[in-house]
Structure 1
């Protein structure tokens, strides 16, 4: 099988899995059902993915990359203020979670395997670079008054992440996705934190 055909088949599997996960939920979807959708054997799926967990993680990585690209495009905007960008980033995250809520987005955060933890660390570094860029833009345009954009970027990232994990810590260990009320509470807290944070670094 040619490499390009392998890549094409892998993408078809990911698309079929994503479609079924979003409609029925990841937990209620079987490899047999995905194979039936593709009109191929289950063995064909296992050629590309060792099990449903590996397929689920691959789907999350695929949509996660698209999500991060959207965030980075927003962070690079020059037609609006850095304050507006911070709030727009929150809005993009809200839309992402609401759209893909049936994919068990938070399940991956409970995965302590080295492979997943390495991905998590990579994502955290990528987010830090993105947020620091937004702070630096604010400094360059005279919107923010800070001498250390790198420290401010990591402080904001850690504070936002802290609110997210504080909210999740109130949930049972078996939680897969936050309930609507819990999610809305975290979003409200993150918006308030952002408002206070931006006010503190704005040039007077």
Structure 2
């Protein structure tokens, strides 16, 4: 049996798993994806949106989830106020979160709001506090990392959308939609993570989560 490789646009307030042990109004992947035996590669927090990869290929799932195999993930991030050059430089160089310093990232201020559908429910709007959008690319994925990074430089995250995983893009999908990868996309995906990155002794691997 051939494996399945899916891209999914996770909406807000949906868990990155197929079951929810707690009662409430939280959606799960089973509400959107009827394909059996596929599992997410990495995670997005419930209050984050955007691109997820799911597959029945356990070997590839393990490889892409292992922090030794770094691959870029790009996020569009709406923050309070407009970050200045100093804040962007800090994000690019790495910031200290608790006892950990993040790896250098690509961070830039977007000239205009990215073409995203409105979030449901929308973020809280405050007329006296302007907002701005950043594009941030990471090669690591610690728990709520993007949110903690922007907060550390003084610009709290209001909305977080993962736009890309490697060369895979969110374009063409609406929230809640999924599709199979094309042959070129699958070839590019399988090229990710072929060379593990050396890790300093004593460092602890973490899963992909934002």
Higher strand share: 2
Query: Comparing both chains, which one has the higher relative contact order based on Cα–Cα distances under 8 Å and sequence gaps of 6 or more?
Result: 2
Higher helix share: 1
Based on CA coordinates, which of the two structures has the bigger radius of gyration?
1
Task: Give the TM bin, normalised by the shorter chain.
Answer: under 0.3
